[in-house]
Chain A
């Protein structure tokens, strides 16, 4: 089985077709899994209730039913809206999410495109969603939308910086920008000569991991960083005029992005698809890699959603000063210390 997968080398058109199909199947599935497991179940448990129970066994198909419900709704656009921009804005947000999946390796060869500058690509593409959000906020011809769009732009730009700076520490330590290269570096690395479990960077770059998680939380506009979509003050911000499947696309993009960011975090900090006691060149990773990566992604997602369900919302000025006055200086110090240690050791 594993040998069969290893020797599978399809022609260019077939591999492209397979990749497109895999991406378009994986993105909604991951969004469904995260929504179902965390938004419906874990959140309910944390609030001492059981969550949906009726649709499917123990309510597991509830989100699917909700999705179908959204598809049945009328596609409404406000009178004053800039129609073309209004209609493509959710697709721009979704495009950013789809592009993120391209660089995510599920094992050494199970990757849509193994880029040499994978980290750089991920950071660049993830900031594309700001454009979609701004387009949605501006084109809706609604004051709440505009306010939400501008808040989102301010927040996403502010938190893009600490995220990049936190990742830089990992890049310095691994000495490569390739996501697969970072996985190899962690599997083969050692912590001050001790190499029993390689060197998962969460141990040596814990500050970077914490900053990265906080920045991811803000990029996803999830509580406690949900000023742009604050229901109680600007009624979901830039999403306020969207109905039906366009709203569904925003929802899908949010949760698929949460999944892919958890994936990036587990590749950068938790050793990605590799396990310490199996050599990275093993053929077993064709099957084991995706499973290991999925388990790690669920772990990181749990952290992200745990924080989401626990803390109340930041005020706008607290949110900005947290990024500029605390996270960015901390990330810079982290980079300096990492660089010095890298040269000295």
Chain B
């Protein structure tokens, strides 16, 4: 018998929730009809700023499920100063991310030393066939447009705010 007040209170909670849902609407949204705006730092998709990539392979090696594929070749760029040695540079041939494998851990974004990878809140890129989830560098580059500007973690903070490179 001492449990009765708790049992009645429990019934009250579910009934109150039902009344609230019918009066003020549910906590959920009807997705394809209504769209929620994801938070700016939501992990939707990984986008690539190709100009910053040096094909150093750090992201591909750190990726826990090996979903990043990088191929590059070396070429000689003209020297900076007159009479200098030609510089050796990496040209990116292929940068693919297989989003059917990606688990959105963000280690590649963390580990990139040249600020070439960014999180974007864009999330509507589902495909009918699983093989179509392998996206190449031009597609990853398009998503750079959806990367939001970084904001200071705290209002008035001294820390330098990271800048998103735009073309």
Residues of A within 8 A of B (CB): 42, 44-50, 53, 306-307, 309-311
Whether the pair B11, A50 counts as a contact (CB closer than 8 A) is no
| Given A50-B26, A50-B30, A53-B30, A45-B11 contact (CB < 8 Å) | no
Measured CB to CB, the closest approach of chain A to B154, in angstroms, equals 32
Whether the pair A45, B7 counts as a contact (CB closer than 8 A) is no
Whether the pair B26, A306 counts as a contact (CB closer than 8 A) is no
Whether the pair B20, A306 counts as a contact (CB closer than 8 A) is no
Whether the pair B27, A45 counts as a contact (CB closer than 8 A) is no
Whether the pair B14, A309 counts as a contact (CB closer than 8 A) is yes
Q: Which residues of A contact B13 (CB under 8 A)?
A: 310
Measured CB to CB, the closest approach of chain A to B100, in angstroms, equals 26
Which residue of chain A is the closest to B31 with respect to CB atoms? A53
The reply on B152 being an interface residue by CB < 8 A is: no
Whether the pair A306, B30 counts as a contact (CB closer than 8 A) is no
Distance in angstroms between the alpha carbons of A48 and B27 in the assembled complex: 6
Contact of B26 among A42, A49, A307, A309 (CB under 8 A): A49
Whether the pair B10, A49 counts as a contact (CB closer than 8 A) is no
Distance in angstroms between the alpha carbons of A48 and B28 in the assembled complex: 7
Q: Which residues of A contact B15 (CB under 8 A)?
A: 46, 306
Whether the pair B10, A45 counts as a contact (CB closer than 8 A) is no
Whether the pair B14, A310 counts as a contact (CB closer than 8 A) is yes
Q: Can you identify 5 A-B contacts, CB atoms within 8 angstroms?
A: A45-B21, A45-B26, A48-B27, A50-B28, A310-B13
| Given A310-B10, A311-B7, A311-B10, A45-B28 contact (CB < 8 Å) | no
Distance in angstroms between the alpha carbons of A170 and B17 in the assembled complex: 35
Distance in angstroms between the alpha carbons of A5 and B10 in the assembled complex: 46
Whether the pair A48, B14 counts as a contact (CB closer than 8 A) is no
A46-B15, A49-B28, A53-B30 given. 13 additional CB < 8 A pairs?
Answer: A44-B21, A45-B17, A45-B26, A46-B17, A47-B17, A48-B21, A48-B26, A50-B26, A50-B28, A306-B11, A306-B15, A310-B10, A311-B10
